[in-house]
Structure 1
Amino acid sequence: MLTMTRVEGVTIGPSEQLQQRFRALSDPTRLQIVEALRFRTRLTTAELIKVTGNRSLAHHLRTLEAAQIIRVVGEPDRTRTVWEEVPIGHRPQAEWDESMATDPEMTAAIRALERATTYRRISRMREFDDQVRDGEWGDDWADAAIGRDYQLQLTAQELEQLDEQLAELLERWKKISQAGGADRAETEHIYVTLAGFPVNLGSPR
């Protein structure tokens, strides 16, 4: 169901809602803010500055707040404001409609988000490599880290099937990771990145 939303007295439709969210997340720093809040639940502005290494977060925080991705839950002053991610169920509905696929502004917003997400993935891997080199992670974690590349030859349909099977596998591990108990005390937050796409190796298609 598609709904209209009023933002600062202006009514915006589902397409504009999605575009606003995509654009809000189309920045590596803002992605980093959302990641930190997702894993640590609530953080002050000062703590987010430390996490991101960026001392000028006001614009980023306002942008995410306007898109209803994060919200203030604590004392509203410059450095002690407490933030949290807005739960998915508490955000205005903005379901995808097939007509949005032909909207050039929507396409531009999606491409910008894809670029920011790719940049953030690369940054995460570099950060981990730097931390291993600096001794922040022990040999057990350095050895356990996954880094694999596979070159396959598939049809588009087979690639979709591979994606579905990997998603099912990761959903099972997601449930394991969310399980509580004392035996989960030594866990760390793990980023798993999957990417599969066609490449042109100079052969005719």
Structure 2
Amino acid sequence: MIKRLPPGYLKCLNDITPNGAALQAGGQVWSSISQLLTWSYVNCNYTKLAWRSLFKNTFANYAKLFPSIWYNIWSGPDGILSTDGSTWSSPVTPMTDFPVMNSNPHVMSLFATLKMAAQIQPSFNGNGLSIDLTHCKTNFNLNFPLIQLNLNLSMGLKGIYRAANDGKLNLYIIKPNFQSIVISLAFVNGQELSFETLF
């Protein structure tokens, strides 16, 4: 994995765009790409860049930057020009269809939030979830239909897993001090299981 940014990248593609990293200088910002970049920043310990990337791609930021353009305030297209907030219009691809055009801005913001908060992803061996807290710098509370996490850096992690099927899985938790623990869960559909690890 590249741990160093290419020369000129920040100046040409990131710093000059108010709404996320563009695909090319003066070009479009695509949430499906720029929110993956947020995750990359986290993986490479560019924490400030990760938070900035996450914020730049929010609907709230778009509403502030381009208040006269309705799209990308409550939904958005694939790509938005970094210069004026506009997009293209096409009869076959719904870039400006009212009220919703595309799920990428919604999904990728949630994806980036999960990566920023706790690097939540399927475990490498496929039998559970990996929750990596080593990049966490602040307390947080995430609440999704499948899992709830409440992190207090001075105390520990508490959570609830909400089963959507019968089965079992392991939670592979990597604490901020890089200590790893495994919590095994067995459940039936609809069951809520609480778990906790202290720091």
Query: What TM-score range do you get, normalising by the shorter chain?
Result: under 0.3
Which structure has more strand as a fraction of its residues? Answer: 2
Q: Normalising by structure 1, what TM-score?
A: 0.27
Whose relative contact order is higher, 1 or 2, with alpha carbons under 8 Å and at least 6 apart? 1
The structure with more radius of gyration: 1
Which structure has more helix as a fraction of its residues? Answer: 1
Q: Normalising by structure 2, what TM-score?
A: 0.28
